A and B are shown apart, each in its own frame.
Chain A
Amino acid sequence: MGLAEDLRDKFKNDLSPELLRSRLLWRTARRLARSRWNKPDWRADIVSLSFFLDRTERAFTGKGTVVWANLLFPPELIHAVGACAFYPEMASAVVASLGLAPRFLDEAAAAGFTRDTCSFHRTALGAAAGGFYPAPEMLFSASYPCDSASHTLNYLAEKLGAEYVGLDVPAHPDPVTLDILAGQFEEAALRLGARMGKRESQVLEGLREALVRSNQARSLLLDIGALRRERPCPLSGRELPGQLSMISAAFGTEDGVRFFQMLRDQIVERRGAPSAAAQEERTRLLWMHLRPYYPNGLADWLEERGARVVCDEFALCTWEELDPDDPYLSLARKVAGHFLVGPADRRARAMAALARDYQVDGAVHFNHWGCRQSCAGAPLVRSHLQNEGVPTLILEGDCVDEREYQEGQMRTRLEGFLESL
């Protein structure tokens, strides 16, 4: 049994905000993390686990200044001042994996949020309103990838009495608009720094260090990307350990560097001795958007059929090396250059390039209910991919709300798709 299941079984029924602040929970979690039973398949997962446990414990027990941010907000800026970065969307994924999302989704519904919005955010709204997420000092959102994040964080800031700063990322990056975004980052960093009692020079020094570490992790992530292109792919989507969350949250930290270093090294080790699933690799898939986070059998089922996800939209390095001497402009370039910013043909072209690079046989676009930015762009992305000769399946579902999960239906659609390849 994994750590998540252990924790769920121990605490699920009496999980309360008080429990999350109790020493007992965190002692138990750390003990379980260290126990000899916790032997994840990928060693790097020990680093990601301790990274998240450490930050979450600090956040809940009041030992750090908590800053909330959304997926495209650069973590380097938060780590630079030594604050605890908390990503509510990712927390919702964890909540879903523990089977706790329905409870918070119901609470969000009771507060007036219809089920027509993204369940990552509805879970966050329900959990935050009930005091299950650590109280923030500040909340930052970049205006991409989705509107939902800006609305949720803005709403919660008011509800929780914290400061909200929304950053407008230009849809059309050019020297003028990048400069304006850089100015917004500078303002945000100095405002956060001031709350933490840091002078501008200290903020800049922190940023310099964070950017250097971010670059180190970046080059390791690029190595991992290159390794995943091989046949058979040494790290499939099913095994993708804490990578996704580490990309969003850990860039700019020592743990981030260690994590990607260990992951890269272990992939290299395993190249010579591919896993049974790797040896069975018959169909290579590109997976777009995310997957269901609650316990489900879809990933195993795919691998049993020799279908392996060799490339994931959210596990990529999408930015150039950062310049530690020009942190704000670097971060502006990093964020505004992401293919999820602006018109969807940017994303479509990026997906088509990935399909070529990773030599995939087909692509799956997971339409997470309520995610306007991705679902509404899916037909266009599919059209680009199909023009490149990459058959693409659009699969409807929900990543967080397990009550919406219909594995039978999904399998039937996937089965038909795999056969057609």
Chain B
Amino acid sequence: MALKSSENDKRVGWFCAYTPVELIEAAGLRPVRLFGDGADSDEANALLHPATCPYLRACLAAAQRESGPHMLVFANSCDGMRRLHDAWKHFLKPDFCFLLDLPRRVDWAGVGLYHRDLLRLREDLESLTGRAITPGALRRAVSDWEATRRELRDSADGLEGVERVRRAVALQEEGLAWKPGDARGAAPQSGRQGRTSGVPVVVTGNIVRADGLLSLMEEAGCRLVAADICSGDRFFQDLGLNEAELEGLGVDGMLRRLAERYLARIPCPRMVDSRRRHEHLLETVRRTGARGVIYVSIKFCDAFIYDFPRLRAALDAASIPVLMLESDYSDQHEGQLLTRIEAFLEIIGDSMAAGRGQV
């Protein structure tokens, strides 16, 4: 495979939080997460069925309109993502297009399969760039990414809601070029710390746009004390790896470690073990003193559709009120959504005042 995109364009687009950015970095390339532009995605209809995740369709539509990036790593995280890879590869013919297999189990089999695919990715990246990935380069990339994630966490300490998510998104879009002040669309350094008044709420879900639904929630009167979303707080987790731990390991051994650590993170709803995720969410609600949970599921996302009834049962059992919202990613039905959020806040405000938890 030859590197056709401009020599200066080292961007490799990625989509799913299980993508090992460290490995892409170690190949001398620049991992950037794609979010689409939130604009109309109708032009993707001919390539990807309209009843497919609107986030994926937005990414595809943006690629149909723009020119890059031309190198992409897709994770095989769901049927929709796999088909996005297929359509992109077949119809848009990028220079590099890799489908990284992603198991649902996190035991020996899951780690084994994921590790195997990291090795495959390594081989393909090496033949793309014509350079071997050395243990030193990988170790450096792991440690740089760990440090940057920690830096993100520190810089966002005390920051809530939209501002916090913007910062996480900036890191995902910028990669290691990110600086603590970065946040696209963020208020200039005015000392604003996100919304600090309002009804404390935890938002959980998949890909929620900061400038769409999250802003709307704040507008409605939520104080978003945690954003347990794929593009938000989940990105604040580091892997817990340090250079000393990787010392003496070859690339293969380091990739095994990466496989173990990525799979050991708080699972996303596509994984087999949803209970851990639910426990984590309950713990977040308790820790933050939130009065309720807003669950945002992107339309047509099977993982979240199947997760919700179970999560709701867990929340009901703990007397935590929950509101389920469905997002089409462009979040254009603002009025309707705003009314629902306001009604929810009113109820949880009242019920808490009356000492009841259930809505």
Contact = CB atoms under 8 A, between A and B. Distances in A.
Interface in A236-279: none
Given A168-B105, A343-B85, A379-B48, 8 more contacts: A114-B326, A147-B302, A150-B272, A155-B309, A166-B104, A172-B117, A174-B116, A377-B83
Interface in A356-389: 367, 369-370, 372-373, 375-380, 383
Interface string A168-200: 101110101100110110000000000000000
A180 B109 contact: yes
Interface stretch (B73-81, B126-134, B225-233): B73-81
A154 interface: yes
Contacts of A155: 306, 309-310
Contacts of B303: 147, 151
Nearest to A369: B51
A117 B52 contact: no
B260 interface: no
A401 to B, nearest CB: 14
B49 A113 contact: no
Contacts of A343: 82, 85-86, 89, 99
B101 A372 contact: no
Contact of B83 (A184, A370, A376): A376
B300 A180 contact: no
A171 B103 CA distance: 10
A343 B303 CA distance: 19
Interface size on A, as a range, is: 35 or more
Interface in B67-119: 76, 78-80, 82-87, 89-91, 99, 101, 103-105, 108-110, 112-113, 116-117
Given A147-B302, A369-B51, A376 B79 contact: yes
A179 to B, nearest CB: 9
A166 to B, nearest CB: 5
Contacts of A183: 108-109
A152 interface: yes
Contact of A375 (B49, B76, B78, B82): B49
Contact of B87 (A143, A184, A380): A380
A158 interface: yes
Contacts of B307: 151
B1 interface: no
A344 B305 contact: no
Contacts of B85: 343
A112 interface: yes
Contacts of B305: 113-114, 116-117, 151
A168 B90 contact: no
B104 A372 contact: no
Given A150-B104, A166-B272, A180-B116, A370 B90 contact: no
Nearest to B90: A380
Interface of B: 46-49, 51-52, 76, 78-80, 82-87, 89-91, 99, 101, 103-105, 108-110, 112-113, 116-117, 120, 270, 272, 274, 299-300, 302-303, 305-310, 312, 326
A372 B306 contact: no
B116 A379 contact: no
Interface of A: 111-114, 116-117, 143, 146-148, 150-152, 154-155, 158, 164, 166, 168, 170-172, 174, 176-177, 180-181, 183-184, 342-345, 367, 369-370, 372-373, 375-380, 383
Contacts of B79: 146-148, 372-373, 376
Contacts of A378: 49
13 contacts: A113-B306, A117-B302, A151-B306, A171-B82, A184-B109, A342-B82, A344-B83, A345-B89, A367-B49, A372-B49, A373-B79, A380-B86, A383-B90
Contact of A172 (B84, B101, B112, B272): B101
Contacts of A150: 104, 272
Given A111-B309, A116-B305, A168 B48 contact: no
Contacts of A154: 272, 274, 306
A168 B309 contact: no
Q: For A154, A168, A181, A370, which residue has the most chain B Cβ atoms within 10 angstroms?
A: A168
Contacts of A151: 302-303, 305-307
Contact of A377 (B86, B272, B299, B300): B86
B94 to A, nearest CB: 14
A232 to B, nearest CB: 34
B51 A375 contact: yes
A148 B301 CA distance: 10
Contacts of B310: 155, 158
Contact of A376 (B80, B99, B113): B80
Given A117-B302, A143-B104, A171 B99 contact: yes
Contacts of A380: 47, 83, 86-87, 90-91
B80 to A, nearest CB: 5
A15 B76 CA distance: 41
B315 to A, nearest CB: 12
Contact of B105 (A114, A166, A375): A166
Contacts of B312: 112
B80 A372 contact: yes
A171 B112 contact: no
Nearest to A155: B306
A181 B51 CA distance: 31
Given A113-B305, A345-B86, A377-B83, A177 B116 contact: yes
A193 B274 CA distance: 26
B309 A112 contact: yes
B270 A171 contact: no
A107 to B, nearest CB: 12
Contacts of B91: 379-380, 383
A343 to B, nearest CB: 5
B90 A345 contact: yes
A181 B116 CA distance: 12
Contact of A147 (B49, B52, B78, B90): B78
A280 B82 CA distance: 41
Given A166-B272, A373-B79, A116 B116 contact: no
Contacts of B112: 176, 180
3 closest Cβ contacts across the A-B interface?
A376-B83, A151-B306, A372-B79
Contacts of B51: 116, 369-370, 372, 375
B109 A168 contact: yes
A158 B187 CA distance: 46
B123 to A, nearest CB: 12
